[in-house]
């Protein structure tokens, strides 16, 4: 039996399992990749919203990362909710030390319920400290607006924002997710790299159960990069994966329920590569 590929997630928790490291680990598993996790924040949340956030001390995150990297290097890593500048600087030190390891950043700023997960200073720190090291960044439209300070209300502005990520901020790739746009029967995502622009589209499904879509989407990209896939291939799979996850939601919770992290695996199996 060959040694499995490993993906690492650095993010907050969701006790109901729909988002954060819980969603990441499920998504890694569904892609046939072994998942590891380091916790940044303990979040009391459910499908109805975020009730409490307890950010861990940076030293605690440092101890977790030291344990992981001292034992087994991941083939790719992603970050989700990052609580402080100090945590970002700690993560940056690993990105500098291991530049060959692909890095996916999901710039988590808002929960699906609309609750803010990051203050203004942290948003600025994210752009300065972590985004320049990203192999792929995965902002949705509101997050892309926060980062670029652009009003993204047209496809032309999506292109302008995407080029800002690549040419000004320094990310190798960025997927600006168009799921928040409601003027189309398709959900379109725009991938920007130095090589060009690719548009991925899948049918839009009418459902309120979209909790954890950002975490899941970025986790699949991370898992595919861990396998050695290109950015294009990783994003293409992630787009189809998240579409099936939304189409076949498990209908859990009283609010915005989670997506189905195993819909893709059940649909096409693990041998589709």
- For residue 239, tell me if it sits in a domain: yes
Q: Give a yes or no: residue 188 inside a domain.
A: yes
pLDDT tens-digit map of 232-264: 999 999 999 999 999 999 999 999 999 999 999
Higher pLDDT, 118 or 33: 33
User: Is the Cβ–Cβ distance between 141 and 190 less than 8 Å?
Assistant: no
Q: Are 44 and 73 in contact (CB under 8 A)?
A: no
Whether 272 maps to a domain, the answer reads no
116 within a domain of the structure (yes/no): yes
pLDDT higher than threshold 90 for residue 164: yes
Q: Does the residue 44 lie in any domain? A: yes
| 50 token code pair | 């975020």
Q: Is residue 210 among the annotated active site residues? A: yes
Check residue 168 and report its DSSP letter.
Answer: I
Mean pLDDT value of segment 123-128: 88
Residue 273 confidence (pLDDT): 43
Q: Which two tokens stand for residue 186?
A: 């398709």
Choice among 31-45, 114-128, 141-155, 190-204 with the minimum mean pLDDT:
114-128
31 catalytic residue (yes or no): no
Catalytic residue among 112, 172, 177, 229: 177
Considering the entire predicted model, what is its pTM? 0.94
Domain count, the chain: 1
- The active-site residue out of 210, 216, 222, 249 is 210
Helix, strand, or coil (residue 247): helix
- In the predicted model, is pLDDT for residue 113 greater than 70? no
The answer to whether residues 39 and 185 touch, using CB atoms and an 8 Å cutoff, is: no
pLDDT digits (tens, 9 = 90+) for 187-237: 899 999 999 999 999 998 888 989 999 999 999 999 999 999 999 999 999
pLDDT value of residue 185: 81
- Does 86 reside within a domain? yes
Query: Among the options 5, 40, 80, 215, which is catalytic?
Result: 215
The reported pLDDT for the residue numbered 123 is: 77
Could you tell me the CATH number of the domain that includes residue 199? 3.40.1190.20
Task: Find the mean pLDDT for residues 129-142.
Answer: 96
Q: Quick check: is 163 in a domain?
A: yes
For the question of residue 123 being annotated catalytic, the response is no
Task: Say which of 212, 227, 236, 237 is annotated catalytic.
Answer: 212
**Percentage, residues of the chain above pLDDT 90:** 78
Cβ neighbors of 259 (< 8 A, separation 6 or more) are 18, 209, 210, 211, 212, 213, 216, 242, 245, 246, 249
pLDDT of residue 117: 59
179 is catalytic: no
For residue 163, the model assigns a pLDDT of: 97
Q: Would residue 189 count as lying in a domain?
A: yes
pLDDT: which is higher, 264 or 102: 102
Catalytic residue among 162, 214, 222, 239: 214
Task: Tell me which of 13, 79, 193, 213 is the catalytic residue.
Answer: 213
Active-site residue 138, yes or no?
Answer: no
pLDDT higher than threshold 50 for residue 271: no
Look-up of token digits 């915005």: 256
- By residue range, what is the domain housing residue 255? 6-265
In tens, the pLDDT along 2-61 reads 889 999 999 999 999 999 999 999 999 999 999 999 999 999 999 998 999 999 999 999
Task: Give the mean model confidence (pLDDT) for residues 150-159.
Answer: 94
Where would I find the H helices in the chain? 20-30, 58-71, 85-97, 120-125, 141-148, 155-164, 213-226, 231-247, 263-268
Distance CA 96, CA 98 (A): 6
């Amino acid at each position: 039996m060959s040694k499995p590929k490993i993906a690492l997630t650095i993010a907050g928790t969701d006790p109901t399992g729909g988002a954060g490291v819980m969603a990441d680990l499920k998504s890694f598993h569904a892609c046939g990749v072994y998942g590891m996790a380091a916790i940044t924040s303990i979040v009391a949340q459910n499908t109805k919203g975020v009730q409490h956030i307890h950010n861990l001390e940076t030293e605690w995150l440092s101890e977790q990362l030291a344990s992981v990297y001292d034992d087994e290097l991941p083939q790719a890593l992603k970050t989700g909710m990052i609580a402080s500048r100090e945590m970002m600087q700690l993560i940056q030190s690993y990105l500098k030390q291991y530049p060959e390891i692909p890095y996916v950043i999901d710039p988590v700023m808002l929960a699906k319920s609309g609750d803010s997960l990051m203050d203004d200073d942290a948003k600025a720190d994210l752009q300065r400290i972590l985004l320049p090291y990203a192999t792929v960044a995965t902002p949705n439209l509101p997050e892309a607006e926060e980062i670029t300070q652009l009003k993204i209300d047209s496809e032309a502005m999506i292109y302008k924002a995407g080029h800002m990520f690549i040419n000004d901020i320094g990310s190798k790739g960025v997927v600006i997710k168009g799921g928040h746009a409601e003027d189309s029967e398709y959900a379109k995502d725009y991938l920007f790299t130095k090589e060009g622009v690719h548009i991925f589209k899948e049918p839009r499904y009418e459902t309120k159960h979209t909790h954890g879509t950002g975490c899941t989407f970025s986790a699949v990209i991370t898992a595919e990069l861990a396998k050695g896939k290109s950015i294009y291939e990783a994003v293409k799979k992630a787009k189809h994966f998240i579409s099936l996850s939304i189409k076949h939601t498990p209908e859990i919770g009283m609010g915005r329920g989670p997506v189905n992290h195993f819909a893709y695996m059940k649909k096409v199996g693990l041998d589709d590569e």
